[in-house]
Amino acid sequence: MAHYDVIIIGSGPGGYIAAERAGDAGLKVLLIEKEHLGGVCNNWGCIPTKSLLHAAKLYTHALHSAQFGVHVGDARFALEEAMAWKREVVETLRKGIAYLMNKSNVEVIFGEAACIDRSTVEVDGQRHSCDHLIIATGSSAARPPIPGLDGEYVMTNREILSLEEIPKRLVIIGGGVIGMEFASLYSQIGSEVHVVEMLDEVLPMMDRECAKLMRREFKQVKFHLGCRVGEVAGNTVKFTDAKGKEASLEADVVLVSVGRTPNTKGLEALGLDISRAGITTNERMQTNLPNVYAVGDVTGTSLLAHSASRMGEVAVDAILGKKSIMRYHAIPWAVYSLPEAAGCGLTEEEAREQGHHVKSASVQMRSNGRFLAEHGKKAGGMCKVVVDGDTEVLLGVHLVGGTASEMIYGAAALMESELRVREIKEIIFPHPSVSEIIKDALWALS
């Protein structure tokens, strides 16, 4: 039985970053992966969706650039080719992770892990022991108790990423990030897309003002808000609408994207403290068991690839005796649809609930020179900033439009650095850039 300083179960962005950091720090590390390096993020999540969304955006731009003097006589979206490119990207990045693991002296084995006790893990009948165990097993698409979700038309994020034919009609149950990204993708390439959402607005983590604008900018998508799905019968999604009326939609594909469930199979023997959300940890990613850590989606907290990676770093720091902690107040998120959206920190509603004396300001992106030049007069977009009126500390930045996903890290930096509004106003933003709108929004605070 080989012995390791650290065994890590799961090679998603939580697991492989933890492995890299631990390996680079000189620890003897074993990384166990049941399927493909990179986990959901690389194989059925972030990376493949971004590849396809980018292709869809290129197609949309090709069709709609006449206002800028670019005329395209004939444009065609070949989904099977976009899917092939997506596979190539995924495989390239898998190899990249394998290269990194090798470079950091991390041993990798493939197979399903079963924890025997908190220092022994079995894979394919072989046992491995360790001083420290990091659980990074991730999450799977939740299957809510709706009759018919096992039907042949129903897919999750996983299966829909292998479609080779554009569905004529796509019904998406759930208007969160995953639902909105697929709605954007398929509506751009020709599907008739319906989103059925139980709540009264899409994108629940988002500031409501921004979420509303996002929904309105999805001009090709039909939204059914406040609707509760009762059953999927064959190709028909049956739901009760906001007024209590029964309604239904026929679909070629039904996508279920109503949340994620932590992957805790194989961990039963440990006696971990697990809630419905996931494995409970402290701010150093320690579980209730000594020397057992949990990172990423399986913790049920901040289900984002980059949160998982940071948690992995924090867990390794704990193992190394360093004192870093996981901070949750400045974690950016992004929706890679057209338009993009991104945010970091508190929404206005959250800030009020937390008792801040809130000041906020919103600026429309069409007032921004670069946005106007590149998106035309009709495109919508906005920036909203949320500030503590007493301390002048920036609490939240919310963006719709432009390359929001590439701008938002700067908001995380501003919030982590704890600069006050008047100090941020002294930072020089490049002109012309859409990013200037963040500063403009701060100047718009009354």
Give the per-residue contact string, 322-361, with a copy of itself (x = CB under 8 A; - = no): --x--x--xxxxx-------x-------------------
Looking at the Cβ atoms of 226 and 432, the one nearer to a copy of itself is 432
Residue 438 binds a copy of itself (CB under 8 A):
yes
Answer whether 252's CB lies under 8 Å from 167's CB: yes
User: Residues 6 or more apart from 373 whose CB is under 8 A from it?
Assistant: 432
Which residues, numbered 219-248, are part of the site for a copy of itself (CB under 8 A)?
none
Q: Which of the stretches 86-94, 150-158, 237-245, 252-260 binds a copy of itself when contact is defined by CB under 8 A?
A: 86-94
Q: Quote the CA–CA distance of 157 and 149 in Å, as a whole number.
A: 14
Answer whether 195's CB lies under 8 Å from 185's CB: no
Backbone angles phi, psi at 3, to 5 degrees: -115, 140
Looking at the Cβ atoms of 145 and 446, the one nearer to a copy of itself is 446
Residue 105 binds a copy of itself (CB under 8 A):
no
The residue written with tokens 């080779």 in the block is: 164
Residue 46 binds a copy of itself (CB under 8 A):
yes
Residue 379 binds a copy of itself (CB under 8 A):
no
Q: Which of 370, 379, 392, 445 binds a copy of itself (CB under 8 A)?
A: 370
Looking at the Cβ atoms of 197 and 317, the one nearer to a copy of itself is 317
Strand pairing category for 192-196 and 169-173: parallel
Strand pairing category for 126-135 and 139-141: unpaired
Q: Which of 25, 93, 98, 445 binds a copy of itself (CB under 8 A)?
A: 93
Q: Name the active-site residue from 3, 64, 329, 431.
A: 431
SS3 category, 248? strand
Q: Quote the CA–CA distance of 12 and 19 in Å, as a whole number.
A: 10
Looking at the Cβ atoms of 93 and 247, the one nearer to a copy of itself is 93
Residue 81 binds a copy of itself (CB under 8 A):
yes
Q: Quote the CA–CA distance of 342 and 360 in Å, as a whole number.
A: 17
User: Residues 6 or more apart from 85 whose CB is under 8 A from it?
Assistant: 51, 55
Token pair belonging to 11? 């090679």
Q: Quote the CA–CA distance of 404 and 248 in Å, as a whole number.
A: 35
Looking at the Cβ atoms of 210 and 408, the one nearer to a copy of itself is 408
Q: Quote the CA–CA distance of 21 and 25 in Å, as a whole number.
A: 6
CB of 2 to a copy of itself, least distance (A): 28
Backbone angles phi, psi at 384, to 5 degrees: -125, 135
Q: Which amino acid is at 366?
A: R
Residue 68 binds a copy of itself (CB under 8 A):
yes
Residue 62 binds a copy of itself (CB under 8 A):
yes
Token pair belonging to 363? 């600026």
Which residues, numbered 415-434, are part of the site for a copy of itself (CB under 8 A)?
416-417, 419, 423-424, 426-434
| Catalytic residue list contains 431 | yes
Give the per-residue contact string, 2-41, with a copy of itself (x = CB under 8 A; - = no): -----------x---------------------------x
Looking at the Cβ atoms of 4 and 371, the one nearer to a copy of itself is 371
Residue 75 binds a copy of itself (CB under 8 A):
yes
Residue 301 binds a copy of itself (CB under 8 A):
no
Catalytic residue list: 431
